[in-house]
């Protein structure tokens, strides 16, 4: 197989050129063609000698991922289906916002997910495998090469649980900030609450935002809708979050998917406000996107706008900022929790 170069770090590119018997500065040239000029082919790399370009053509390829399919939503959101080297697929999303210049890429970290949240389309798939750091980084590079647009923010909110693939995720964060050129302040890692992963990420002391998919302040309901939470009790999780905010000096985000009749009661809104009281955070309410389970059932309903507003108001009672997430790409199934590889062979 040819060696894919996009998504590799500078030291990795250096060992690649060394193996080819080329001088070390060639690695820097390749790095710049890939990450600064977003080259799609070796042919474009005009400051490399012709015979080197021919050699690269033989032994290497620019992109690691293959674009298998793309959909564009009415609001400009683009959903990408990428084929991985082993024939598996993952999805990524590029979101644009009319009121800002910024573009956010939502990347996947695993094929499927083992956490099994009962409202999530990826959760229905089960777990297949972890992505490598290079596979994570190349999603962003592929999006930039395809769209010709600079991604300004990255959210680790695609398929998979980032903190069950922590080392590759951390490596990808370093490559994104050093090579792709998107600073840590513009990165958000979202987790269902894997305490060892939160602690490991905190050790890196990077100013990235951590988002916790909390979804309910009550233990029983949480164990039902986020099954892995049986392993990681809420009080310990809140401690880990507060420590994370302390070390990184960044407020964490609490994500809360609103499911009618399950986690949207007045009592839960008040309990939520109390639970996160001492954690430096803001709360992001996500209206549920109806997704079908494999047997064709949509297990939940989205609360009415009125109920969403009421919940927001009550959750604000201890002074935290509470927002309701703006939806993107729902017409192409590119909204939160809808990534499920409809095209899998």
Q: Which of residues 160-199 bind ligand SAH (CB under 6 A)?
A: 161, 190-192
Nearer residue to ligand SAH within complex by CB, 5 or 276: 276
* Closer residue to ligand SF4 (CB): 27 or 81: 81
The Cβ of residue 315 has, within 10 Å, a number of other Cβ atoms equal to 23
Site for ligand SF4 in 76-135 (CB under 6 A): 113, 115-117, 120, 122-123
Label residues 174-186 b or e (16+ Cβ within 10 Å = b).
Answer: ebbbebbebebeb
Site mask for ligand SF4 (CB under 6 A), range 148-187, x = bound: ------------xx--------------------------
Beta-bridge partner residues of 282: 253
The answer to whether residues 80 and 70 touch, using CB atoms and an 8 Å cutoff, is: yes
Residues 6+ apart with CB under 8 A from 50: none
- State yes or no: residue 337 binds ligand SAH (CB under 6 A): yes
**Partner interacting with residue 289 (select from ligand SF4, ligand SAH, none; CB below 5-8 Å by kind):** ligand SAH
What's the CA gap between 107 and 240, in Å, rounded?
Answer: 24
What ranges in the chain are assigned the alpha helix state H?
10-19, 25-35, 50-59, 121-125, 133-147, 166-175, 195-203, 219-225, 234-248, 266-275, 305-315
* Phi and psi angles of residue 114, each rounded to the nearest 5 degrees, phi first: -90, -10
Is 252 exposed, middle or buried (CB count within 10 Å of its CB: 0-12, 13-18, 19+)?
A: buried
The binder of ligand SAH chosen from 5, 39, 140, 157 (CB under 6 A)? 157
Measured at CB, which residue is nearest to ligand SAH?
A: 337
Cα 149 to Cα 223: distance, rounded to the nearest angstrom: 41
48 binds, options ligand SAH, ligand SF4, none, Cβ within 5 to 8 A by partner type: none
Among 134, 165, 213, 248, binds ligand SAH (CB under 6 A): 213
Closest separation in Å from C-beta 213 to ligand SAH: 4
Closer Cβ to ligand SAH, 14 or 216, answer by number: 216
Judged by beta carbon, residue 11 or residue 296, the one nearer ligand SAH is 296
- What is the distance between the alpha carbons of residues 37 and 6, in angstroms, rounded to a whole number? 12
CA separation (Å) from 166 to 132, 199, 332?
10, 10, 30
Question: Quick one: DSSP state of residue 160?
Answer: S
CB of 123 to ligand SAH, least distance (A): 7
Q: What residues are annotated to the active site?
A: 91, 336
The listed partner (ligand SF4, ligand SAH, none) that binds 248, CB under 5 to 8 Å by sort, is none
For residue 133, the 8-state DSSP code is H
Closer residue to ligand SF4 (CB): 7 or 193: 193
For 99, the token pair is: 């009121």
Residues of this chain that bind ligand SF4 (CB under 6 A): 113, 115-117, 120, 122-123, 160-161, 192, 213
Residues of this chain that bind ligand SAH (CB under 6 A): 119-120, 157, 161, 190-192, 213, 255, 257, 286, 288-289, 291, 336-337
């Amino acid at each position: 197989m040819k060696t894919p170069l996009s998504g590799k770090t500078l030291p990795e590119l250096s060992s690649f050129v060394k193996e080819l018997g080329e001088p070390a500065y060639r690695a820097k040239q390749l790095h710049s063609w890939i990450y600064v000029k977003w080259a799609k082919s070796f042919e474009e790399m005009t400051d490399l000698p012709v015979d080197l370009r021919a050699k690269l053509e033989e032994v290497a390829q620019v992109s690691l991922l293959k674009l298998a399919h793309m959909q564009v939503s009415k609001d400009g959101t683009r959903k990408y289906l990428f084929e991985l080297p082993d024939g598996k697929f993952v999805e990524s999303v590029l979101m644009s916002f009319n009121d800002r210049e910024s573009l956010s890429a939502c990347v996947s970290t695993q094929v499927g997910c083992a956490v099994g949240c009962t409202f999530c389309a990826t959760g229905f798939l089960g777990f297949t495998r972890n992505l490598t750091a290079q596979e994570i980084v190349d999603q962003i590079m592929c999006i930039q090469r395809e769209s010709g647009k600079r991604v300004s923010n990255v959210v680790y909110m695609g398929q998979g649980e980032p903190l069950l693939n922590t080392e590759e995720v951390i490596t990808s964060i370093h490559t994104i900030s050093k090579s792709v050129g998107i600073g840590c302040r513009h990165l958000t890692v979202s987790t269902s609450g894997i305490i060892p992963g939160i602690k490991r990420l905190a050790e890196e002391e990077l100013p990235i935002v951590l988002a916790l998919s909390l979804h309910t302040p009550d233990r029983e309901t949480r164990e039902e809708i986020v099954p892995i939470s049986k392993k990681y009790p809420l009080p310990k999780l809140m401690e880990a979050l507060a420590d994370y905010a302390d070390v990184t000096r960044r407020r964490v985000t609490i994500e809360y998917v609103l499911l009618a009749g399950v986690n949207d009661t007045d009592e839960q809104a008040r309990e939520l406000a109390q639970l996160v009281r001492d954690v430096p955070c803001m709360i992001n309410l996500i209206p549920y996107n109806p997704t079908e389970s494999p047997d064709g059932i949509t297990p939940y309903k989205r609360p009415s706008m009125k109920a969403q507003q009421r919940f927001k108001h009550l959750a604000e009672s201890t002074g935290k900022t509470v927002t309701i997430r703006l939806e993107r790409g729902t017409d192409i199934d590119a909204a939160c929790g809808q990534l499920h590889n409809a095209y899998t062979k």
